[in-house]
Structure 1
Amino acid sequence: MDYRVGRGLAASSRPVGFAVVTLAYVIAGLAAWLVVAALPERHPLLVTFIADLVATVVVFAASVVVANASLYDPYWSVAPAVIAVAWVLWAAGGDLAEITARQAALLALMLAWSIRLTANWAVSWRGLSHEDWRYVQLREQRPSWLPWWVINLTGIQLMPTLVVFGGLLAVWPATTVTDRPWGVLDVAAVAVTAGAVALEATADRQLRGFAGDPANRGRVIDRGLWRYSRHPNYLGEIAFWWGMWLFALAAAPGWWWTVVGPVGMVLLFAFVSVPMMDRRSLVRRPDYAEHMRRVPALMPRLGRR
């Protein structure tokens, strides 16, 4: 059966595409809220996890209806901010005057990250006719016996939701444990997180400027941050989640085990995202193999100009 249940929507305008995304996310948010309302006696962390999964399934259903898996893409940056705000309000009893300096700093940085990353997606997304090349590749290369919806649900949507929730495990103690005063670890957390947001924003801006110049078609970006790392935008994303973990360590050292979150991010980018991008660039750019020999994938080499 043709997977394109809603293939007729592919020709719709960009505003229509954004309207569809907005509607899907509003419905997903309502579904998550119903989960929270239905489980008032359960631990908020467990309730949030279930609500997160339910919202993901709603977005998946919408992506099937419009035949575009990229409907999920902004979920990565939208859901964490909503969850962090909900946890802070829950811990403060809904009283904004009770929010601590640590909670305020984490929320400000989380919102800055979320708004910028979502805006970056919105600028590059051309509408329902535009689907991320990785999803197109996965669809084309999947075994004939494996239905596309299975890959879409598990690999494209549920897996990233689980990885991000792993990162959010550190945000839980950072937003709900309030008896430890502001300290050196908080300063380090702010510095790492703010630096990560700035790094990712700068890398994305440099890449957008490079790709927007027709003279650079087929060339490898090796200027600015991209001179020292093949994927500085991914490095910034990884660093952001390490910053969240430092906030957790500052609030509740006993939650050190939430380091599984940023470690999961490292594994995702190092063994999935980076190899996929590198393979694509090797095909599209003749000089990329030499570029890979000169420039590390993520962390710049110390002392290397």
Structure 2
Amino acid sequence: MTSVGIVLATNFFGLILVIGVLWLIALSIRDVSFIDAFWAFGMVLLAWGTAIQVGNEGLRAQLLLGLTTLWGLRLATHLFIRWRRSGEDPRYEKIIAGIMKKRHWGWETTALVSVFLTQAPLLFVTSLPAQIGIFASAASPASQIGVIGWIGVAAALTGIAFESIGDWQLDRFRGDPGNQGKILDTGLWRYTRHPNYFGDALTWWGIWLVAADAALWVAAASVIGPLFLSFTLTKWSGKALLERGMKHTRPGYDAYVARTSGFIPWPPKKHGS
């Protein structure tokens, strides 16, 4: 059987080729914002790339493929539609402009290095539970899924539903002109300021549990994926970056922050508590 190192190396090489094509597309339209949609779709490609190399026999491999595909296609479609509707993301515009000024690079080099070649390894690492889990399943397709694995399935499905509902509620809110400049604090957004980010993290911790249930080495080799995703969503490019901008553009956002959980859903605090 092909070793896990060869499978992962093949996946990474294929990912870099796709990233290169996407960079060429970005050059033609002078916009890199669609990379967000590929972040999700790229993980689907890596999961299926693993299955093509080693097979998808066994319930565990099929669950990992199914959960990753369901999550990735849903999120990629949502983000692609948002990009087509809203145009270039101001965050990327600001990032690229800042790096061009600091490094004295052209737009092409800045986009390649700071966006595409940065995203590729991070995407690859985040999806390790699916890649390594499918590999391990091919090695022992008859292995049974234990309690931990089924908890993972439930967590992943809950995360997908949570993220989907949060995105739908936000789209409806933004689609109402009367909500211009207002804060969404109803529905899931009443219990967490970032239900979409929480759902994202819960999904990948669930996928990790499904994979980890196969063997201890799988758990150890792939836990970097959900750990990194949780870090980036809460401390780096997700929640932290978004909230810095919201505090300056949304009156009353500080009060919303004071009463509403920053990540894990929780009943809002009462005034004065």
Same fold by TM-score, threshold 0.5 exceeded? yes
Q: Are positions 1:275 and 2:217 aligned together?
A: no
Question: Cα offset for 1:242?
Answer: 1.0
Question: Could you say what the CA RMSD is over the residues aligned between the two structures, in angstroms?
Answer: 2.2
Indicate how the Cα distance of structure 1 residues 197 and 184 shifts in structure 2: closer, same or farther if over 3 A, else same.
Answer: same
Residues 1:143 and 1:76: Cα distance change in structure 2 (over 3 Å): closer
Correspondence for 1:64 among 7, 18, 27: 27
Which of these residues, 223, 227, 231, is aligned with residue 263 of structure 1? 227
Residue 143 of structure 1 and its aligned partner are, at CA, apart by: 5.8
2: distance between equivalents of 1:287 and 1:302? 19
Q: Structure 1 pair 115/172, CA: closer, same or farther in 2 (3 Å)? A: closer
Q: Which runs of 5+ in 2 are unaligned?
A: none
- So what's the TM-score if we normalise by structure 2? 0.87
Aligned-pair CA distance for 1:118: 1.8
Partners of 1:140 and 1:293 lie apart in 2 by 33
3-state SS of the aligned residue for 2:34? helix
Query: Corresponding residue for 1:19?
Result: none
Percent identity, aligned pairs only, is 27
Are the aligned partners of 1:60 and 1:72 in contact in 2 as well (CA < 8 Å)?
no
Other-structure match for 2:163: 200
**Matching residue's letter, 1:274:** K
Aligned twin of 2:111: 152
Q: Aligned match of 1:126 in 70, 84, 95?
A: 84
Q: CA deviation at 1:87?
A: 1.5
Contact 1:229/1:298 (8 A) holds in 2: yes
Deviations 1:56-110 (A, max 9, x none): 1221222122201123222111121122122223222xxx7xx211111222211
User: 1:91 — aligned with what?
Assistant: 54
Q: Is the 8 A contact 2:149 2:211 kept in 1?
A: no
Aligned-partner Cα distance in 2 for 1:183–1:132: 43
Give the alignment partner of residue 288 of structure 1, picking from 253, 268, 273. 253
In the alignment, which of 175, 181, 185 is matched to residue 134 of structure 2? Answer: 175
Q: How does 1:21-170 map to 2 (within 5 A)?
A: 43-92=6-55, 99-126=57-84, 130-142=87-99, 144-146=101-103, 147=105, 148-170=107-129
Q: Unaligned stretches of 5+ in structure 1?
A: 1-39
**Aligned mates of 2:262, 2:112 — CA distance in 1:** 28
> How far is the alpha carbon of 1:300 from its aligned partner?
2.8
Q: CA deviation at 1:303?
A: 8.4
Q: Are the equivalent residues in 2 in contact too, given 1:249–1:255 (CA < 8 A)?
A: yes
TM-score normalised by length of structure 1: 0.78
CA distance in 2, matches of 1:142, 1:293: 34
Match of 2:178 in 1: 215
Asked if the contact 2:162/2:199 (under 8 Å) is kept, the reply is: yes
Pick closer, same or farther for the CA change 1:119–1:256 going to 2, 3 Å.
Answer: same
Query: Which segments of structure 1 move beyond 3 Å, counting only runs of 4 or more?
Result: 139-143, 148-151, 301-305
Q: For residue 296 of structure 1, what is the amino acid of its counterpart?
A: S
